[in-house]
C-alpha cells in the first residue's frame, strides 16, 4: 500500500486534536453591566473579537453557582449560572452566538470536590454517620484512643496524615465537638470543598447527569478539573510523605493517579 493510500484510509482527525482554545475567566474578562465584575454579557459582546483572533473555541472557567471560596471551583450547583455572572438565558445566547461565529464552547467540570453548600453535602451532614448520604463523600470516624484503656474516640485526631493542597490537614470534623458524630470529612483543597467519593457508583451516576445536561444544551466539550485525583487509595492509608503539598497532589501517591480513574474516562 502506498503512503497516499494509507493516508486516505486513516481516520479523519477530530477537531479537538488540533484546536486552539482561548481560556476565559468570566469574572475578570469583561464587565457587561457595569457592576465591576466580569459576566456573561461582557463575554457575549466580545465573542466577535475572540473569533477574529482565529482561535477554534473558548474554554470557560466555572460560572456555575458558588460561594466563590476558590474562584468558583467550589460549585454548589453544577447545572446553573451564578447570578454574579448572569442567567441561563444569557448562557444560551452565548452558546448560539459562539457557534454562529465558528467557535466551540468548552466548560470546566469539577468532579473531585464540590462546595460545602452543595445540597448533597448539606444532606450528608444532616443525615449523620453511616448514612447513604454520607457515602457520597469521604466521611470517616476518628481513630480510637486506647491510651487510657477506655477506647475513647480521639476527638482531634484525623483518620490519616493527608495534607491539603492549601495547607494544613485534609480533614475537618463534620460536627466539631460532638460526642456522637465523630466523623471527619476529606477535603484535598479548602474545608469548604469536600471531596466526592468516586468509589460509590452513585457519584458517577450523578455526574453523568451533569454532563448530559450541558451536552444536551449543545456544549462542545469539557475540561476536567483535578482529573487525576477522583479516586483515593482504597482504605485511605497514610501517605509516605507527611510534609506539605506545595508541589501539588502528586506529592501524595495515595490521592492521585489511581488505576480506577481510567475507567471513569473510558
Side-chain-side CA neighbours of 134 within 13 Å: the count stands at 19
Q: Please give the pLDDT value at position 82.
A: 98
Q: Please give the pLDDT value at position 11.
A: 78
Q: Please give the pLDDT value at position 150.
A: 46
| CATH domain 18-113+201-228 topology | TIM Barrel (3.20.20)
Q: Please give the pLDDT value at position 156.
A: 78
Task: Report the pLDDT averaged over residues 215-240.
Answer: 95
Task: Report the pLDDT averaged over residues 2-22.
Answer: 82
Number of neighbouring beta carbons within 10 Å of residue 263: 9
Q: Please give the pLDDT value at position 247.
A: 62
Q: Which of 9-18, 120-129, 161-170 has the highest mean pLDDT?
A: 120-129
Q: What's the pLDDT tens digit per position in 65-102?
A: 999 999 999 999 999 999 999 999 999 999 999 999 99
Q: What's the pLDDT tens digit per position in 234-246?
A: 999 998 876 555 5
Domain 114-197+229-260 has CATH 3.90.400.10: yes
Q: Which of 6-15, 176-185, 202-211 has the highest mean pLDDT?
A: 202-211
Nearest to 170 by CA among 156, 155, 191: 191
Q: What percent of the chain has pLDDT over 90?
A: 80
Q: Please give the pLDDT value at position 149.
A: 47
Mean pLDDT (the chain, rounded): 91
With residue 21 as reference, give the H or E element that holds it.
Answer: strand 21-24
Q: How far apart are CA 21 and CA 19, in angstroms?
A: 6
Residue 262 or 178, more confident: 262
- Cell of residue 16, nine digits: 479537538
Residue 214 clears pLDDT 60, i.e. is over it: yes
Domain residue extents for the chain: 18-113+201-228, 114-197+229-260
Q: What's the pLDDT tens digit per position in 141-152?
A: 987 554 544 444
Q: Are 238 and 155 in contact (CB under 8 A)?
A: no
> The whole model's pTM is what?
0.91
Residue 117 clears pLDDT 80, i.e. is over it: yes
Amino acid at each position: 500500500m502506498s503512503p497516499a493510500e494509507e493516508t486516505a484510509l486513516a481516520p479523519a482527525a477530530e477537531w479537538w486534536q488540533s484546536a486552539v482554545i482561548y481560556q476565559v475567566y468570566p469574572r475578570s474578562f469583561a464587565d457587561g453591566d457595569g457592576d465591576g465584575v466580569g459576566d456573561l454579557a461582557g463575554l457575549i459582546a466580545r465573542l466577535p473579537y475572540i473569533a477574529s483572533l482565529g482561535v477554534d473555541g473558548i474554554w470557560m472557567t466555572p460560572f456555575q453557582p458558588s460561594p466563590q471560596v476558590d474562584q468558583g471551583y467550589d460549585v454548589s450547583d453544577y447545572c446553573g449560572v451564578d447570578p454574579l455572572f448572569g442567567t441561563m438565558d444569557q448562557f444560551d445566547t452565548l452558546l448560539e452566538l459562539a457557534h454562529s461565529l465558528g467557535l466551540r464552547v468548552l466548560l470546566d467540570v469539577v468532579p473531585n470536590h464540590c462546595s460545602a453548600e452543595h445540597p448533597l453535602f448539606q444532606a450528608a451532614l444532616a443525615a449523620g454517620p453511616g448514612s447513604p448520604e454520607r457515602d457520597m463523600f469521604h466521611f470517616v470516624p476518628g481513630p480510637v484512643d486506647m491510651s487510657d484503656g477506655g477506647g475513647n474516640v480521639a476527638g482531634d485526631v484525623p483518620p490519616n496524615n493527608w495534607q491539603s493542597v492549601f495547607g494544613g490537614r485534609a480533614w475537618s470534623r463534620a460536627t466539631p465537638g460532638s460526642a456522637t458524630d465523630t466523623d471527619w470529612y476529606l477535603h484535598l483543597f479548602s474545608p469548604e470543598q469536600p471531596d466526592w467519593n468516586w468509589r460509590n457508583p452513585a457519584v458517577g451516576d450523578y455526574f453523568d447527569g451533569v454532563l448530559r445536561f450541558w451536552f444536551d444544551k449543545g456544549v462542545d466539550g469539557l475540561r476536567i478539573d483535578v482529573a487525576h485525583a477522583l479516586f483515593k487509595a482504597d482504605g485511605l492509608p497514610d501517605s509516605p510523605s507527611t510534609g506539605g503539598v506545595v508541589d501539588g497532589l502528586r506529592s501524595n501517591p495515595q490521592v492521585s493517579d489511581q488505576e480506577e480513574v481510567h475507567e471513569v474516562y473510558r
